[in-house]
Amino acid sequence: MEEKLKQIDSKCKKVVLYGPESSGKTTLAIELSKHYSVDWVPEYAREYLQKVWDKDKRVCEPSDIMPIAVGQMNLENQYAKKSDSLLICDTNLFETMVYSKNYYGGICDPLLEKYALNNNYDLYLLTDIDIPWKKDDLRDKPNERQKSFQIFKNELIKNNLPFKVINGTRIERLIKAISCINSII
C-alpha cells in the first residue's frame, strides 16, 4: 500500500488547487491548464464517489478514503511522468487527509497522513468560498463552508506549506492564480 501513496520523482513544478467543496477548484484547474498549455490532474474522488452515489445513493464514508487516496496518487504520478514543466493538481493527498480529519472527527489513516505530509508541492492555491455553493449529488455541507475554509487554511499554516488564497470573480481568480504561478516558474 505504501508504494501506491508515494509521489514519483518529477522535474515539473506542482501546483495544487486546494480548499473546501464547491470553491471553484476544478474550474480554476481547467482554466490554468489551458492558459499554460499543460496537463491538469483531475480530482479522483469525484469520479469514485459519483460511482458510489449512482450505485448506493450514499456520500463518502471513512472506508472510501484510502481507495480515493490511492486513486489520486496514481493519477498524479501518471501525469507527472508526462510533464517536464508544470503540473496543475485538482487536489492531492494533503487535501484528502484534511477532508478525512474534518469529516470524521479527526480520524485519518496514518499511512495517508505520512504521505500527505511528505509528498512535495511548490504551491497551494487555497480557493476561497466567496462564490455561490453549487449543489450536486456529492456536496453535503453548504452551511459549514466558512468553518471548512478555516480548517483547510489552518492546516496549511500548521504544516508550513506555501500557499496563496485565491478569491474574487472567475476572471480575478484566474489572474491572481497566474500571477502566483508565474512567481514560481
What is the pLDDT, as a whole number, of residue 46? 85
What is the pLDDT, as a whole number, of residue 9? 93
Choice between 74 and 84, residue whose per-residue pLDDT is larger: 74
Of the candidates 80, 79, 78, 117, the residue with the CA atom closest to the CA atom of residue 95: 117
- Give the pTM: 0.93
Rounded Cα distance, 69 and 67, in Å: 5
Beta-carbon contacts of residue 107 (< 8 Å; ≥ 6 apart): 62, 100, 101
Of the candidates 13, 11, 20, 17, the residue with the CA atom closest to the CA atom of residue 164: 17
pLDDT per residue over 109-125, tens digit each? 999 999 999 999 999 99
Element (DSSP H or E) covering residue 72: helix 65-82
pLDDT per residue over 169-179, tens digit each? 999 999 999 99
Average pLDDT for 1-13: 92
Taking 60 as the threshold, does the pLDDT of residue 138 lie above it? no
Taking 70 as the threshold, does the pLDDT of residue 48 lie above it? yes
Three cell numbers at 65? 478514503
Domain architecture of the chain: domains with CATH? 2-182 (3.40.50.300)
Pairing of strands 40-41, 86-90: parallel
